[in-house]
Each structure stands twice: as C-alpha cells, then as structure tokens.
Structure 1
Amino acid sequence: MSTSWRPQLFRFLPGWLVCAMLIFPALRTHAAIDPLHDLVRIVDSGPESASKAARKAADAANNEGNKEEELKSLRVLLLARAYVDKSISNQIVERIVALDRELGVHEAMCELLGLRAKDISMVQSRDANLMYGEAIAFAERHQLTDCVPMIYLDMGKGYVSRNEKSEAMAVLSKAYSLFQEQQDNAGMSQTLGQIAEVFGGPEANEEDQEKAEAYFRQALELIDPAVYRHTASLHNLGLGLTFYHRRRYGDARQFLEKALAISREMNAVVYTAIIQFHLARLAKEEKRLPDALALLEQALPSLGDIADRYFLVGAFLTRAETLAQLSRTEESIQSLLDAKAALPRNGYHNSAKIYADYYARAGRLYAKLGDYQNAFQEMDLLQESSQRLMETSNMRLADELKTRFDVRLKEAENARLRAEQQQADTLRMAMALAFVLALLLLGSVVLHLRRRAEAAKIDAMHHHALANAEARRAEASEAASQAKSAFLANMSHELRSPLNAMLGFTRLMMRDKRLAPDVVDDLRVVHKSGEHLYMLINQVLDLSKIEAGRATLVERGFDLHGLLDELGDMFAAAAWQKGLDLKVEHDADVPQFIHTDEVKLRQILINLLSNALKFTSNGGVILHVQRQASDTLNADHALPEPPCSLKFSVVDSGIGIAPEDLCRLGEAFVQAKAGQLAKEGTGLGLALSRSFVHLMGGELNISSEPGKGCTVTFCIPVRPVAREEIEVSAAPLTRRAVGLAPGQPRYRILAVDDREEGRVLLAKLLTPLGFDVRGAGNGKEAIEIWEEWQPHLIWMDMRMPVMDGREATRRIKATEQGRNTVIIALTASSFEEEREQILAIGCDDFLRKPFRENALFELMEAHLKVRFEYDQDAVADPAVRLDAASLASLPAQLRTELADALTKLDTGAINRVIDTIRSGSNSHLAQALSAAADQFEYGAILKALNEIDESSPQP
C-alpha cells in the first residue's frame, strides 16, 4: 500500500491516531455493530434533534460504562454533524478513536476519516481526495461495506460543490451501484439528488434542467418522506431551485414551501434560513417585494452561522436590490455595505465566485441608484476578480491532471509488483512485456488526458467568451430598457405638469365675467390647442410605452353594440358633410357584451374611421364586425371556453394607397403621400392602432390599390360575458362648485409641488371655495408645514427635488397623527403600475395630471366628507332633453351654425353658439348643450338636429 498519504493526513489528525489506525486489524473483536444505513435513518429524520439526543445518550452511556452504546451514540453524533456541516471537537474525536481501538469496531474510524476529508475539501481538494482514497482503502481492508458507498457519495458532493462535473459523475455512479447492490434506497436517493445537482444549476440548458427534475423526482420516490425528512427536504429544495432557474415560479414556490415546512418540523434553524433565502429571491422575481424583505429579515440572523458565505452575501445583495426597487435608497446602500463586510477571506473554495457575483451585482445596483463612482469601482474590481477566477480554474485543472497521473502511475506500479510476486521465475519475460504494455497504456492515457484537457480548456474559453458576450448583450438590453423607462417617466412629468397648469388656468380665466367675449374666445382657442397637444403627447407616450414593454391592458366588460352605435353617431355628421354613406354594422352572432380593453378598442376604431373619412371623397365607409371560428385565435392569447374571436373591417372607397407607401405605413411618424399633401396628422394614429391590436392579441392588416379604396382588418380574442358582468360608469358631474355648505369646519389643505404654478393653481381653485391653502416646494418643506399646521388633506406631487413625495408620504404615515392625515398623490406619470406602488407607500388615493376640477372635488368629498354648494345656473334642468323637440325651438340660423361647428369639431365655434343661446334666455337648453359638448357627445346632438331637418326641411 502506498504511504504518500501520511504527510497530508498528519496535518489534520494527531500522529497517535494514525498509528492506532495502522494496528487496528489485529484488535478487531465481534462487538455488535449497528449498520450505517440504520444510523442514517435516525439522523435523516432530524439532524439537529438527533445531534442533541445523541450527545445526551453518549454522556449517559459513558456514566453507565456501556461502551458499545456510547460508541453508537457518538457515531450518530458524528453523522448528524456531517449533515449540518458542523465540525467535531477534538475531545469527541479522541473518544471515538479510543472506543474504536478498545472494541475493535472500525466503522466509526472509517466514518471519521470521511468526515475529515469532507471538512478539508472546502479548502484543498487535492488533500481531500488523498484522504478519501485512504478512507476507501481502510474500509475495503476491513470489509466495511456500508462505509465505502457513503465515502464515494461524500466525494461526489465535494466535486459537485466545486463544479467538477465529470469527476462527480464518476464517483457518484460508483456510489449508486454499491447502494443498489446493498438495496439501500436511502443511499440511492441521496446519490440521485447529487446527480440531479450535476445536471441542474442556473447555467444549465433546458434539456439538462429537465434531467435534473427527473432525477429529483426519482430520488423522492425511493424514500418515505416521513422517515427521511432531511433528504426529502433537500430534494424538494432542489426541485424548487430547478423550476426557479427555468422561471416557472409557481412550481418553484410549491416545492420551496414544501421544503420549508419539512425543515421547520425538524427545527433545523440554519437550513430553514437557507430555504427562506431562496424563497426571498423568488418573491423578488415575482415583484412581491414586502414578502421578500420579510423572508430575508427572518433568514439573515442564522445565515451568518454558515461557513459558506455565499448565502449571507447573497441575502444582503438581494435585500439591497429589493430596497432599491422600493425606492428606499439609504437602506439599500447599507445592505450593500453589509454584503461587502460579509465577503469571505481569500482561499475559501468558492471565494472568487462569491467576489465576482458581489462586484457584478453591486456595480449594477450602484449605477441604478445613481452612485456612479462606486459603480465604476465595483466593476473595476469585477474584472480583477474574474481574472483571478479564471487563473484559479486553470490551476485547479493542472492539479487535477497531476493527481490523475499519480493515481494511474500508482495503479500500474501496484499491478506490476503483484505480478512479480505471483510469477517470480516462470513469467519473468511475460512480466517485462506486461510492464512495457503498461507503460504504453499509461502513455496513451496521459496523451488522451492531455488532449482532453486542451480541448476542455479551449471549449471553456469559448463558452466563457460566449457567456461574456451574452452578459454584455443582456446588460445593454436591460440598460436600454431602463433608459427608456426613465425617459418616459421624465417626459411624462415634464410635459404633463406644464399642461396641467395651462389647461387649469385657462379654465379659471374663461369663467371670469369681467373678460370681454373676444378674450374668452381667444382663451377657448388656447384651451383647445392645449387639449390637442395633450392628445398628441398621450399618443407619443403610449407608443413609447409599448416599445419599452410597459404598456398594459385594462380589460372589463362592456356593451359592444352600444360602442358601435356611438361610433356611428360620432362620425355621422362628418360623413354627411362630405356626402358619404357611412355604415356601421355587425353580424347577428356577434355578442353584445364582451370582456376586453374597451378604451384601446375605441381608440383603434376611431383612428381607422377618421383616416377612412379623411381620404374618401366619393362613395362611403363601412365598419363591419363578424365572429370568427375559434381556430383563428392567437395561440399566445388562449381564452377560457367558449372561445371567441372578432374580426373588425374598415372599408372605404377613397384614393387608396400606393404600393411603395403600403409597406411602410403603420410605422411611427410615417404618412402616405396623400397625408403629406393634405398636411394633416402626425403619422401616429395608425402606428398606435397597430401596436394596440398586437397588445390585445391580434394583427392589423392593410390592403389597397390606388384609386380603388382601402381595407383595414384586424382580429382580436375576446370573452363574451353576461349583461350582469358589465361595468356601468357613473354619470359625470356637470355642476360647478362655488363654495362650502354651511356648518362645516374650515379645512386646511396643503399643496406640495416643486412647480410654483402647480401650487398656485390649487390655491386659486380651493381658496375661493372657503379652504385654507398653503404650499410647499418639496417633501422636506411639506413635513415641516405638516408638523406645525396639521392640514386635513395633502395634495402630494411625487417627483420633487431635495425629498420626493414618496419619502415624505412614508415619513408622515409612519406617525400616529400622520395616519389620520389624508394624502392624495398628484402625479404626471403615464404608467398604470405606478398607481399600485404609490398606494402601497401610504397614499390614500391617486390623481393624474392634467386633472379636471370635478375629479379633484370628488376625491375631497370621498375622503374629507366635505359638502359643496353648486352654481344653480351650472346645473342642467333634468326636464330639458337634447332631442329634436327641444332643439326645434332654436332659430334655423342658430341650428345651422351649431351643426356646422359640430361637423368641423370646432370647439370655439360650438361654445360661441351655446353662449348666443344662453343670452337669448334659454339658459337651461344652453347648459344641457354645454354639458353634452364637454362629454364630446357631438354625434347625439347632430342626430337630433338631423331629425329636425328630416321632419321640417329648411328652404
């Protein structure tokens, strides 16, 4: 037997222990031995409880002088410590050696050697492999059949932890064969779990991940989870992480929670913390940020007790990333500092990988938080760490090749010595020939290994380069996506906030009775232009949100037939003005009530009908809706039974589109030649419609021939619903508040906005009604005024310098008094998901800029229970209905002017006609017309006017 192991072993075990091991064969007796798999069953049910119980049993047996029972208890303690990765004290080691020598039971010594090898494998894999080899030789020499496969299993675990997959598969295959021969299902299950770890991992492809899943499931089938609870928990954890890496988060959560439940039953504190860490990562990916923080807070105290710093560093990094997403910047930076402080010392088996992961994630997070100096520093350290990681990998490969060479050389030498002893004289020539053949074989093996190593090195370099390129591409893509989102947020705020002031002040000024009528008309022109600009800005932002992947559907039930009738009324006047025939029709089997995004569908159809009427001079325009077969549904938008797909077609007899324009039509800001000549539109309507159709699960198609008109079609999946499921919108408030009803306190209102015009607008709206209003330019000022003045309600802008509205809201709502203060967010953001985030930080409600004053007053009524007095002249008489009978009382000239203004969509002319009607002592009819015009019910008014023309035509 080779003795090259002794210098390495002396570094980890006392010299007398080694000497004792050498003389054990002569001392073996026939003491009763507990099979190792029986001890595994005891420990696997709960390593922590088994460890405590074994220590008590060992002490009791020692006091009673029962050495066999004491040794059994110490073996259980040894195995339990191995399960939870805890070292054994020298006192326990010395007692095991003494009992082993006295009783002649070598199983404990074999298990102790395996544990020692496992301990040093985290620091020096070569020394560990030598010790594992000697442990196997020791077990085979003493015929310890139970111990050998367990040592191979531990060797495999070490290789798996160091990502040495080919070596891991070799020893794990041996372990599985031996366990299978012994019919040890628990050992087979543990081995299959490690084989699954070889195939799994975050870098594995889909095929290998599927293999990992299959091995984990097979491993679970081999054991009773009520008995082998630790192993069952490990396999469930492995399955959960396999699904996590494949982004199947629902399945991942199921298995991780099952693993957590088993771990808590075993009272395994440290292992529970590890599972909580993985569940926190999953919660962060699922955007369940409060859940992620709660899990991390539970896990962090125990993760510091684990020698492998991967979990502690990873937990602090995950916490920092979660806090950053919640805009808790200071806490996020503190977690980054905690992660840096937790980094392991150099020389630990995976320290280079932990450092590289930290520098990469910390650099990205510092950049996201705006700390570019720290971001650059961490990225610079990342390059150095990556270089060290590559050098470490190369050195490890060289060490492995040298170890393999030494092993092969020793095997050949031992074979030659045995052959010489058996055939000393008669086979001397044969021995020489065998020696020559052995040398040739060894040379071939070395040459094969060298070529394999070179190929593996080249392959590794290639994969590393590909991985780096993919990482750079992903980071660039993520940076571009974040830049788009930041641009959208900034532009939404910078454009909507001034528009809010412009539209608000023009509405206030138009009510001033002292202004001359021509000045009021000019203000109406400004207001109309502002609303047109608001519409264009919304189109650009909608298109940008779609490109950035931030657009969402807001689906609800509604009356499709009613929408089609409304569109027919809306465009009837424009068609009549141009002498065109407009038809809006649907097949009999088209459902009346459907569930989809009504707002986007309405906008699509308005854009398409508007374009069709704009470029059609003769003939007509047809909007037709028909029901399609279920097999035409988009596979990515499958719906519950019964399936339904609706096809919308807009057909016109206009000038058509040239082939060279048709291929580019539908791109943003692109118009056909006819549109360029007409100098109308921005080229956004069709692009936005195409994007909305795609978002809803369909595809928009255009076919046309010059001079023969154009046909635009699209199909979208919808779900038919019952009448009871549709949402009925409340009627809009048309009254104008002029003051507070008597018997109420004088409410204190705080307006927080970094733009002075925003604060002034709120003051001018609320002060005349009887509110006390103060203003603050940022969140810090708002907190100071709130502490001193205690307002009843705060209108809080979200984006401000010094301290933003989010942080100010959090601080106010964190106090007892602050919870009684109503805070309503005022934001110019165009992102729908921001509403949920703002409400989550403590705001009581949400209002977007630019806002209408009625929406402002409705929120104040809802949250403060304030009662308003209204301008009686501003309330439409419920007895006045906008039908042919009421409008027939108007002079023919006024009806003609009103119809012309409505057809041209000229809001200034519409308001002038209404003012003329009001001045003629018909104020109730004027107010009813004004309310309808404010809701853009132009089609209904024109329909009533046309009925008068049909019954009493004008000369």
Structure 2
Amino acid sequence: MRELAADHLLRRGDQLVYVCLPEDLQVLYLSPNTWTILGSEPEELLQSFWDGVHPEDRERVSLWHRELAQGERLRMEFRFRCPDDSYGTFQAEIFRWEKHVSGLMRPHTPSWQVRTARLLRSINHELKTPMTGAVGIAELLLQTTLDGDQKGCLEILQQCHRNVLALMDNLLDAVELEAHILELSDRPFAVLPAAEEVISEAAPVASGKGLELVCRVSSRVPGSIRGDERRFRQLLANLVRHAVTRTSAGEVVMSLDRSGDDLQVVVCHTTRASTAAPGARAGAISGPPRFPPSQEELVLWVARSLTRRMGGEFYAEPGRLQCTLPLKAPRGQALPHRPVASGRRVLVVDPCSESSQALAEILSSLGAEVRTNHRWSAVRDVDLIVADERCLEGAPAGVPVIVLLSPAGSNEALLFPAAAQLPKPVLPSQLAALLNRPPFTELRRILVAEDNPGVRTFMARTLEKLGYVVELAENGSEALACFEPDRYHAVIMDCQMPVMDGFEATRQIREKEAGSRTWIIALTGSEEEGARERCLESGMDDYLIKPLKRATLEKLLESSCPLPVPSPAPVTPQDLPLDPGILEDLEALSGPGEPPVLEALYEIFVTKGPEARERIRSALDSSETELAAASAHSLKSTCASLGAVRMMSLCQKLESAARSGELDQASELATRIDAEYETVRLALRQRLEGTARKP
C-alpha cells in the first residue's frame, strides 16, 4: 500500500517532486511537470537542479537534506531561480522514505551502477591488451628508417592510442563516480613533478596546434601534500586537455597557487579563439552533475566530479576552469628551499606575456633578480639572459643566453652561440637543474683530508676538473686547523689518519660550527657492517668507499649536498642527471640505420616505471613488505640499465627498509622515488629530443 502511495506521489501533477540521495544530494528523479513549473525539461535540470537554489540558501538546504532521519518530515522555504532569472520562494516538504521510493527508482540504484562499473572495468582491460600490442609494433616501426610521411602516420597512430586510453579511463571513472564507488588513496606525493608530467604529456598536442603551453607553480604551493596522486594528475590532465582541445590559437596556462588552506588550480585559455564548455555556467557548480550526455563533455565532467569527490569546488566560465582542493600536509618536514640563482640578475625576453611571467616567477623563486622585456633595449647590468628562439635577432654579445626552443621551431636556433638550450614548455625543475650546473654556478671550495699522497693527488685533480677549488690536509688535525664555518662547500674526510682520525676531526668541526652545517663526506676502505652507521653517528653526512671512481664522486657531490647554495654539477648544460658514461655506451650500441637502444630503454622505463611505482605504493598501503621490496628490486634493475644511479640508490634503500618492516621510512623513500623518476624521465626525453634535432 505504501509503495502505491509513493508511486502516486512521484506522479502527481500539481506539485514538483524530486528524489535525491541523502549522502551527496544527487538528483535521481524530477517529476514530469517540471516544464510547467520551472520552464525546463526534467532531463535538463537533473545536472543543474541545485544551481537554481539561491546561493544564500544552498548551505541551509543541503544541511536539511543530509540530517533528516528515516521517516522524519520537515517543512522548509527556499528561493529558486525562475525561467526569467528572477527568484521565487518555494515551500517544500521533505521526508526520508528510502525503502519505497528506491524501489521505484531501480534503474538508478547504486547496485545497478556497480555492476555497470565492473563490466566496464573488464571491457577496459580487454581493450587495452590488444591496443598495447598494436602500439608496441608502432614503437618498433618508429625505430626503423622511415620517411617523413611514414613517421608522421605512426605518430598520429600513437596519439590516437593515447586518446582512446584516456577516453576509456575517463569513462570508467565516470561510471565509478556516478555509482559512488571510486576510492581515493591518501599518501604523500610531490606536487611539482605531477604538474610537470601533465604539461609534458600535453605539449606535443599543443605544439601541433601552434599553442603556447605554460606551467606556473607558485612558491606558496607546498612541496608535497597528502592525497591520491594518480587522481590529482588525472584532474590536472583533464583540465589541460579540455583547454587545449577548445583552443585553436594563443595560449593555455595552468597555474597552481595556495589560497588559505586550499590548493587552487586554474587553467586559462585564450577566449578569442576558444569556445565555452557546453552547459558551463560561471560560478561554483555546487549541485551534483548527472552522467554526461555526450562524449564531448566527458573530460570536463570527470574533472568536475573528481574535484567534488576530493572535497573541493569547481568553477567554469568561458576561457577559464578553476578548482580548489583542501590541502593536507604530509608527515615530516619539507625539503629546504635551495636558491640556485641567488644574486643573479636575469633578463627574460619572450613575446608571450604568460610565458614571460611564468619564467620570471620560476627565476624569482630560485633567488634571481628578474626583469622582463620583449626587446633587447632592456639589456643593462644583467649577467644572464633567458630568451625565446624567436627573439634572438639583435642579441648582445658578452652575456650568456639560455635559448628556449619551441618543439615546432626551426633548426636556426641551434646555430646560435647559446650557453644552453631548453625546450618549451619550460618546466621549473628543468630550469633549476640547468642553473645548478656550470657555467651557471660559481666555483666551490672543497677541503680534502687524506693521509695517502696518491689518493690526495687523485682527489685534487678530479675535483679541479669538475670545477672545484681544492684545499688539502694530511690528517684530521690539519683539517681542523684549516676549517672555518661557511668556508667550504663540502669536506671529504678520510676516517683512518695519523695524529687525529676523521671521526674525532668531524666531532670537533661540528662543535666549531655555529648555526651552519658543512656537508662532510666520509672516505673509507671498510665495507664491514656498521661502518656507515659509525660515520653518521660521528656527525658525517655521507659515505664513500675506496677505491674511488670519478663518476661516483661526481654524482655524490651533485645530488647529496643540501646547502643554501648547491654544489655545481660537473656536466655541460646539454648533459643529463644520469651516468654520462653509460649513456654514451648505450648510444654507441646502435649502428647506422639501427633503432636507438637508448630510445628502446626509455620506452621500457616510462612503461614499467609507473607500474612498479604503483605496485610499491599499493604494497606499502596494504603492509605487504615483501611485495614492496620485490617491486623496488625490479625497478632498481631498470634504473641500472639506464645509469639512473640516484634513483637506483633510492630503490635499494626502499628495498632494505621494506624488508626490515620500516613502513614510514619506505613510504618517504617512495615519495622521493616518484620525484626522481620524473627527473630521470624528463632528462632522458630531453636527451632523445636533442639528438633528433641535431642538423
């Protein structure tokens, strides 16, 4: 009898009736008389019903619906927008009647949607398997000798593959979001690498359309936050993809900033050559969206729904998409800021105002004093110029120039006597890494304490060739006499020396320091268990084992000194943060007309790397330490084949931490591996692109 009453209520014509879920107020049903009362069809209002509630009444109405108990009735009044955009007052009676109304709404129940999501997930998997094989063959073909048309066709095939995969992922997520079964992980991750990866993936499509793609990450944004990294990247990717798709000329700018306790993401695109999103309305979209009516809106719909699922708000207006997400700080301290361009006066010359401003922000965050101009008349009292390749005519002599290369640019810029070259879009990590290398770094001073004359000579000559000023001491007592706080960039300290050993010298140096801390690297021939721990306990910061290799010393000084002014890296601007010897060996393996071995290894790295990182994260989340260790070991082997020594070391440490059951330490190492993965990926890609661009 009560079911008949519910059926009658849903279909009566003198009142507007709606049915919604109490958890998130998703509207499942609007009575057929919606047109008579509100001037719109029910299907049109399902996705925007709550947008019609007056902004001042929304919070109150939302609270009433959520707190209503089973069987309870409540009368309320709220203002609702009429067809002429005026607001009328509605009197409503709401009640919770789950058992009977849900039976009438069976096609919309979550259980039906769960079954649909499971089916779609299975289809998604079955489709990806043959597609992966087809694209693998395309990758192999790209490594053979091809003419321009053949290569272009294969690149289009690859792009189509990426588009289909993105479509399938978004479609699956849309169904899971609709069914309220999408789960979000909660773990620390680095914000900047995630943003840079999104920009890097969108760059080829933007370049093909002649668009300027710009990434702006404010210095106010924390280095790392807690949340679901994959979904965060997907949200950014959908916003950028939507903007690139709808822009035919001009700029697409992704900006990340902090606003109070929220992370604010804004993607702007030039409105003169773009179109607004279908059905988009300025202001916050507070009502639950319905399932997208067309494929065209799928990307934006998923972005909007993911934002709401993460507890944020989504805004859309012509030429601008914005979302705000609550910030959750991770455990532990953030890494110290390292101003690699401190004291430098830099001129930015770029015809694109957004790109110019983004470069200025990056350089300012790195400690530089920045001026921007699109003409060379502003060149006064500067010691570095960052210039777009379109602005090189009339460039002054005597000032080092970093040339920004467009992926669609000509080879003429390669003939310019630049101090370095960077591809656009410029990523903050790339520019920071470049400025942390000679010739952009000043000479640094190293104190070497070693009693063996042969080792002293080797250390002195090696460090001098790497660009350091070297001072020598024969024992710990001499080292202590030479040492002054803030004088040396680092100290390399032999552990076993006459008069005073390295352990005692280090202890006394630490007592001598006041507030500052000089990086001290232990030098020992002992590999026995506990040797490293003894060095660290005495106050040393890192550890080198004899016999020494130049590459080992080079990498250690490049990566491990957390000083306010970082160490110079002993590579030229075109080199990568990888073992240069291994890179050269890999490139030498490919004969004329043969596919590049380095490119094949790169594809393996970018395919297997994310899978291994995801397995590590999942294993750590479920406390499966052996699986985490095995996955780290597998990833370590992949890194070794490419000479990614820093990432390989992090994998080794994570493997050990996982086997020891130290989950917190393993989780922190996983975050560092994520950041290092992006550094290695970008470096390899830049190396491959640089090789391809050589005339």
The TM-score with structure 1 as length reference comes to 0.25
Q: Whose helix fraction is larger, Structure 1's or Structure 2's?
A: 1
Q: Which has the higher contact order (CA 8 A, sep 6+)?
A: 2
The TM-score with structure 2 as length reference comes to 0.33
Whichever of the two has the greater Rg, that structure is 1
Q: Whose strand fraction is larger, Structure 1's or Structure 2's?
A: 2
